[in-house]
Amino acid sequence: MTSGIDHTPKEIPAPTTGSANRPPGLRLPAVVQTLLFAQYRHRLFPLLRRRHGDIFTLRLTTPTRHLVILSRQEDIKTVFGGPVDVLHAGEGNGIMGPALGDHSVLLTDEAEHRRARRLLMPAFTGASLAGYQEMIGRLTTVEVESWPEETVIGSHQRMQALTLEIILQVVFGVTDEARLRKMRPLVRGIADIGPVTLLGLPYPLLQRVGPWRRHTSLQRGLDKLLYEEITGRRAAPDLHSRTDVLSRLLQAEENRTGGGFNDAELRDQLITLLLAGHETTATGLAWAIHELVRNPAQLKRAQRAADEGDEAYLTAVAKEALRLKPVVYEVARQLTEPLTVGGYRLPAGATVMPAIGLVQSDPAHHHQPDEFRPERFLDAQPPANTWIPFGGGARRCIGAGFALLEATVALREVLRRYEIRPDRPAPEEQKAHHVTLIPSRGARVVVSRRR
């Protein structure tokens, strides 16, 4: 797909100069662009693409002031396949620092990131994922059996409850009910951190008041429990028979030269898995249910797949929901050196953003992109860099396989038990919630036992 833009490389100045030589974009004040980006990016980006082409600029009031939005497959390939010492994802995610911790795999770059990723990988291999399936299935059964029949429920809220339990028991490895009772409200509160709270966390004065004080208190409470759990797990006599993520990380350390994570690093990775994997997976599942109940043919086939153990189709349902309704609309890389992208010579300090929502809705790559068609993931895999809900390249989400496993198991258990229908025919809109796009009314459905 061509944009009609002259792709001859052009020098554009640093973010603060506002020169017209940069990729085109809005001329509204930066504060207005910031508000539009925060609340309406899923509507703003398609509008700007129609107006300006496949590459355009936004100016924000945040420290990352100069955003270059990319929607062409070739430009996204340049970013995902480019040198990691030039394209820093850690710096691009820097706003999350106070919430995740300095050692988070999402916030580190180059050698430090490679080390963190190498240490995390054993817990997310295919063999490890197979070991989690039984635990995820058991927790899912407990959750869905509690759903009330013939009354409206918010599937988003119910999936949040499920993924919270999966984080606590399958990732953290906490199964003692007394400790779970202590952890649940802390994890729930931390996972619901809002953008205003996030932006204010670096300031000590704010940590004494309002939502910042509450979040800091929650964080300290959870940190205490996590450090106790890490210390106890290291010394646990049954460590080698445990199959949760934390235990697998500790088991792998014993077979690794040069050591593994220290306690502070482990804490940061666990918080990262919580914040990156709880809300996003729950939202993806809610969108999958939202789409199934409005597409009777696909719902019927998905029910048959659940009955027959056809995991391939259920996984395709989850993938198609993530394509049609991306939970996260864009990812970021901050340039440490000038780089030519989309015909523009972008300066160091600029942030490039592959737009997940734009490339996944492009008819050049996805036939009838507005249609919910899980079969497209059975017929053939989409072209490279056109289905990117988990990012791409060296920074592709390490938990992608875990998230798809959760979705496949959850869909299977729901569809085996229930007939599901929407509470009203009209589809729900996408609504910005922190960094995710959630169903505006909670993906409401009514369930009844299958006969």
Residues 153-167 have pLDDT tens digits of: 999 999 999 999 999
Residue 303 has pLDDT above 90, yes or no: yes
Residue-wise pLDDT tens digits, 101-115: 899 999 999 999 999
Mean pLDDT for the chain overall: 90
Q: Of 7, 78, 1, which is closest to residue 385 (Cα–Cα)?
A: 78
* Amino acid type, 127: A
Given a cut of 50, whether residue 6 has pLDDT beyond it is no
> How far apart (Å, rounded) are the C-alpha atoms in residues 327 and 322?
7
CATH number of 30-277+327-405: 1.10.630.10
Q: What is the DSSP secondary-structure string of 161-172?
A: HHHHHHIIIIIS
Q: What is the predicted pLDDT for the residue at 64? A: 61
Which tens digits make up the pLDDT trace of 354-381? 999 999 999 999 999 999 999 999 988 8
200-222 mean pLDDT: 88
pLDDT at residue 363 in the model: 96
> 309-361, pLDDT tens digit by residue?
999 999 999 999 999 999 999 999 999 999 999 999 999 999 999 999 999 99
Q: How confident is the model at residue 435 (pLDDT cuts 50, 70, 90)?
A: confident
* Gyration radius of the chain's alpha carbons: 22
* Residue range 7-20: mean pLDDT, rounded: 39
Predicted pLDDT at 20? 39
- For residues 444 and 152, is the Cβ–Cβ distance under 8 A? yes
The number of angstroms, rounded, from the C-alpha of 72 to the middle of its chain's C-alpha atoms is 21
pLDDT at 15 over 80: no
Give the pLDDT of residue 254. Answer: 67
Q: Dump pLDDT digits (tens) for 368-427.
A: 999 999 999 998 889 999 999 999 999 999 999 999 999 999 999 999 999 999 999 999
Please give the pLDDT value at position 325.
98
Q: Please tell me the distance from the alpha carbon of residue 435 to that of residue 442, in angstroms, as a whole number.
A: 16
Per-residue pLDDT at 91 exceeds 80: yes
Taking residues 54-72, report their average pLDDT. 88
Residue 300 has pLDDT above 70, yes or no: yes
DSSP state for residue 94 in the 8-state scheme? G
